Amino acid sequence: MKTISHWIGGKPVEGVSGNFGPVYNPATGAQEKQVAFASAEEVDAAVRAAREAYRTWGTSSLAKRTAVLFKYRELVDAHREELARLITAEHGKVHSDALGEVARGLEIIELACGIPEKLKGELSTQVSTRVDVAAIRQSLGVVAGITPFNFPAMVPMWMFPLAIACGNTFVLKPSEKVPGAAFKLAELAAEAGLPDGVLNIVNGDKVAVDALLTHPDVAAVSFVGSTPIARYIHTTGTAHGKRVQALGGAKNHMLVLPDADLDLAADSAINAAYGSAGERCMAISVVVAVGETADPLIGKIKERADQLRIGPGDDPASEMGPLITKAHRDKVASYVTGAAAQGADVVIDGTGFTVDGYEDGHWIGISLLDHVTPEMDAYRDEIFGPVLSVVRVETYEQAIELMNSSPWGNGTAIFTRDGGAARRFQLEVEAGMVGVNVPIPVPVGYHSFGGWKDSLFGDHHIYGNDGVHFYTRGKVVTTRWPDPADGGINLGFPRNH
């Protein structure tokens, strides 16, 4: 059985802790690989490699950094098919979805290639007689990233390309469920000419996470995952003096007004709720239907849902793959049966779904719930699976009150033809990312990604300008070059003049 090891100091390093975790093919349910789990000592070795590499990388020229990044972008682009196959094999998502993930990660590499523009700084001349003031940004040192299973390539690429472009060195702890793509990204970085130790990977579980959060030489930690873990990452990391950005979970609402194009809304609800089997923090999990919108909209969603093809991710005919683990599949199914017990109408029940020839896979079909209320578990919890709830309200005001009462504030969307209603919504809704007739409003690379409330812990969103600011710190330099004719002693308080 293949073992995925760590990547430290520019090369693979076999695990020595003796602990390993299984890596499954979700479509078959079979364990196909194992991954080495790092001990605290192995994490320390990765941090030491990063700290040593920072001595030269942190002072390297922008020209050198961008040369490596341009080559890296070329290599990732050339290997996008291989990366997508790795993602599908370990995560289960369909090949086209995996390709899209790699493409969105490439956006951030491209942003990192433009780092000279982002680090230009500011200069004010002659603020006082022969005095100039400059504002510059400098790297932090060794920084770390802890990434989730649902985007094994994209989320790491949201972090380390920008971090190393800013002059930091990086230690990545990918999800132990899907380690293959991250390891390949490290191999490609070395091929692109990234110096040894600038990018390191330690695989593992909570032991590795805690070692990074408490390590005195780690200056900052980026995290994407569930809200309880994000809160833990932020609390623990900041208690140990680290800068932390921790992106948590979500319960994203899609508001459909009576004037909306219901065909567009139904297509969008299908795509946003069931794409990637609902295993994404920007999935739409609640449709809020205003007035008489619900019945015709549900009919259109059901009509489309009945045509969806669920199967192995490497089958070109498949539109949705399995869930990541059997335990997660069972948990998602429990929300559907629980919603029925709590009074919801189960319009589509996907809990008994399986695929011929792949009966041991982690399969679940899509589910559609109607007459869901805020007291139900299916509404309150982040399900992270292909379950869409419909909540009925009478007015826009009721809808906005419902949505803003949610503890999460990651993403949201409104479907309407009314520009005034859309403008009002984008100002009134309490969420960090808003779509107008766009169901999954993930910002492009040069804007930043992040939510509000329990969807974000820390002050910085990820990538974009916020990402640059997170991975750097500001410094202001005040300079006076005296005229040779100046002189004399003056003990008075300095004054601008």
Annotated catalytic residues are 281
Nearest to 195 by CA among 47, 68, 51: 68
In DSSP terms, 139 is beta-bridged to 472
Alpha-carbon separation of residue 253 from 100, 256, 302, 393 (angstroms): 23, 10, 18, 13
Residues 6+ apart with CB under 8 A from 156: 105, 145, 147, 172, 174, 181, 182, 185
Q: Give strand pairing partners of 23.
A: 33
In angstroms, the CA 143 to CA 53 distance is: 12
CB atoms within 10 A of CB 427: 8
Compute how many other C-beta atoms are within 10 angstroms of the C-beta atom of residue 321: 29
How far is Cα 206 from Cα 18, in angstroms, rounded to an integer?
Answer: 15
- What residue type is assigned to position 474 of the chain? G
| Nearest Cα residue to 37 out of 151, 289, 208 | 208
Please provide the distance, in angstroms rounded to a whole number, between the alpha carbons at the two ends of the chain.
Answer: 74
Residue 493: DSSP 8-state: P
* DSSP letter string, 381-397: S---SSEEEEEEESSHH
